[in-house]
Chain A
Amino acid sequence: MALPAEVDLNPAPPPAEPAAPVAPEVAGRSPSRLAWARLKKDRVAVVSAAVIVLMLVIALGAPLIEWAYGIGPYDDFKARLDRFGMPLGYAGGIDGDHWFGVEPHLGRDIFIRLVYGMRTSLLIATAAATLTSVIGVLVGLAAGFLGRWVDAILGWVMDFALAMPFMVFALAVVPTVALRFYGPRDDIPPLFRGVVLVGIFAVFGWTGTARLVRGQVISLREREFIEAARAAGAGLGHMLFKQLLPNLWAPILISFSLALPSYVTAEAALSFLDVGMVEPVPDFGRMINKSINYLQSDPAYVFFPGITIFVMVLAFNLFGDALRDALDPRSSR
């Protein structure tokens, strides 16, 4: 039978699309590329991204900076202190050799300790954010897609993790775990402390991402492209990681970029409370803790770590917000 309608209604349907001759290279613009284009237009995003990149470069290139600066994080300059242990000169001993001054009593250079402190902070925050995101995504995928008893059990575990008081838990667990492996007088290696910190963040931090991903998966799993994959004989792994996961990158990225600064502050808070990183590893939280004793006599000491952590967290948060706007343009403010 002839098919006249085909000819009548549309002389030559898709091949004669007007776009084709203009651009012979037919390449689609993926949703992520469109988001990237939006992100590049956002001024706040560009500035905060520049700050973040600068900080990453500083953290990664800390040994290079040490070499160029000529002072290491553990060098002390007792000669720069007066007989009360306070830095000589103005504003905590700022001069051409010590850009941000020196620490009271110990006489270590504050600038290079901030550079290395950024390394500690970013390393722990990145590890914690990555680990919590991975756990959260896996749990959220399983709970959302499998549903039924899997969802019920994981939901129960999630409520349990949310109900535990984080600070009390951290204050109780960190010294206990350390005592389990080391004697009370032993030096605890910084790596061990870092691993314990990341572990604690992982235990508490995955719930947010898990809930987010679970909700998204529930709204996506009834979509027909999932049914199409099932009807074609796709296994669970294909449906979770090939069909669902690509649709979840936006919320995952946003939650990751917003989790990162929260771990920066949480790590600083724990170190401030003396359950985080220990001496002699440079760390923002402990620096601020120590500087509080000198608020009156050496106010410059608290200023530098304080302002650094503030700029860092602000940049990450602004970038996270900009990322959300770029990835989900419909959510207007």
Chain B
Amino acid sequence: MTSPLLKVEGLTKEFAVRGGPPVQAVSGVDLSVAPGEAVGLVGESGCGKTTTGRMLVRLLEPTAGSITFDGRDITHLRGRALRPLRRDIQIVFQDPYGSLNPRHTVGSIVAMPLEVNGIKPPGGTRRRVQELLELVGLNPEHYNRYPHEFSGGQRQRIGIARALALNPRLIVADEPVSALDVSVQAQVVNLLRGLQRDLGLTFVLIAHDLAVVRHFCQRVAVMYLGKVVESGDREDIYAAPRHPYTRALLSAVPELGEGGQGRIRLTGEVPAPTDPPSGCRFRTRCWKAQEICASAEPELVPRGGSRQAVACHFPEPESAHAEGEAAHGAAG
């Protein structure tokens, strides 16, 4: 396996709360992204996936842990040292309405990263911006238009063009399609796939929509309450989830539900991140929980010789793995 482009170890973010214990939005996320790969980060609302994404692009300062990009520790880079990194890692936002400055033309929005980095592309900024607009499937003639004149899907394309302006190597896409209509979602996901293939881009896709992740990502990491509970290849995760939470999550998707068994209904609420449960964080809602789950925190490691890493004391049996291999072969 080639050395990873992005390696995240023990990444933690705490938010101070006035007059209370700090909120641990992310507590010890491990993630590794190979060049040219698309990794999906899935989980329900509030599990810390967006916070993780913001830390990856260094919009938030990690409380603990490390982020290594291309062999370089970038966890606490500041000011001038951060600038070259900004060119390599870009972000696509969730909200196609809030992420574009309503007072700027499309041209100046897409040209903004070039402008702030003092880059004069050969052939002129305007030409480069029009190339980018064409690349994301927009009419380059729309250079002088304003964001309010575009639909949600077109706006998201503008946001993608802006992220591409600096020729980044890694793009963190934070729920890039969840604010869009289903029909437009497919177009935008296909655009991202095309870009990944044509430009050799590496993606971290943050999403709660399992179908989108399945369509786009080669590898998947499942988060629960600030931690990655399971990670592995797409086919393995979808065909043979080993963590109980992943199983429950997948069974909640109608067309992906496990054939005979039907939906797994989780009881209770997600515990408050100010006061996470001891041991395994999922144990309060897990039907398999035993005493050890409360006392010892399971580590995210491959169990039973599988490539699939799972943080559970009682993972699903290995036997299911064969199915996953079969699915893998069929898809590949």
Q: Do A and B bind each other?
A: yes
Give Cα A10–Cα B138 distance, bound, in whole angstroms: 13
Considering only residues 1-46 of chain A, those with a C-beta below 8 Å from chain B are 1, 3, 5-6, 9-10, 13-15, 17, 20, 26-32
Q: Are A228 and B91 in contact (CB under 8 A)?
A: yes
A251 to chain B, nearest CB (A): 13
Q: Are B194 and A229 in contact (CB under 8 A)?
A: no
Given the known A-B contacts A247-B101, A247-B102, are A5 and B190 also in contact in the complex, defined by CB atoms under 8 Å? Answer: yes
Question: Which of A90-98, A155-163, A191-199, A219-227 has 4 or more CB atoms under 8 Å from chain B?
Answer: A219-227
Q: B-facing mask of A231-268, CB < 8 A → 1, else 0?
A: 11111001000110011010000000000000000000
Interface size on A, residues (CB 8 A): 36
Which residue on chain B has the smallest CB distance to residue A17? B139
Q: Are A225 and B187 in contact (CB under 8 A)?
A: no
Considering only residues 138-165 of chain B, those with a C-beta below 8 Å from chain A are 138-139, 141-146, 148-149, 153-154, 157, 159, 162, 165
Question: Which of B109-117, B240-248, B299-307 has 4 or more CB atoms under 8 Å from chain A?
Answer: B109-117
Give Cα A19–Cα B94 distance, bound, in whole angstroms: 27
Give Cα A231–Cα B59 distance, bound, in whole angstroms: 7
Which residue on chain A has the smallest CB distance to residue B103? A246
Classify chain B: how many residues form its interface, as a range.
35 or more
Q: A-facing mask of B162-176, CB < 8 A → 1, else 0?
A: 100110000000000
Give Cα A224–Cα B159 distance, bound, in whole angstroms: 10
Partner of B98, one of A28, A225, A242, A246: A225
Q: Are A10 and B148 in contact (CB under 8 A)?
A: no
Given the known A-B contacts A26-B144, A30-B103, A225-B101, are A3 and B112 also in contact in the complex, defined by CB atoms under 8 Å? Answer: no
Q: Are A3 and B93 in contact (CB under 8 A)?
A: no
Q: Are B117 and A233 in contact (CB under 8 A)?
A: yes
Give Cα A13–Cα B166 distance, bound, in whole angstroms: 25
Interface assignment of B308: CB less than 8 Å from any CB of chain A: no
Which residue on chain A has the smallest CB distance to residue B114? A232
Interface assignment of B208: CB less than 8 Å from any CB of chain A: no
Interface assignment of A290: CB less than 8 Å from any CB of chain B: no
Q: Are B142 and A14 in contact (CB under 8 A)?
A: yes
Partner of A224, one of B90, B93, B106, B138: B93
Give Cα A10–Cα B99 distance, bound, in whole angstroms: 24
**Chain A residues, CB < 8 A from B100:** 225
**Chain B residues, CB < 8 A from A232:** 86, 90, 112-113, 116-117, 162, 165-166
Q: Which residues of chain A have a CB within 8 Å of any CB of chain B? A: 1, 3, 5-6, 9-10, 13-15, 17, 20, 26-32, 223-225, 227-235, 238, 242-243, 246-247, 249
Q: Would you list 5 pairs from A and B whose C-beta atoms are within 8 A, ordered by A residue?
A: A9-B186, A20-B139, A28-B144, A227-B93, A233-B86
Q: Which residues of chain B have a CB within 8 Å of any CB of chain A? A: 54, 57-59, 82-83, 86-87, 89-91, 93-95, 98-106, 109, 112-113, 115-117, 137-139, 141-146, 148-149, 153-154, 157, 159, 162, 165-166, 183-184, 186-187, 190-191, 193-194, 197
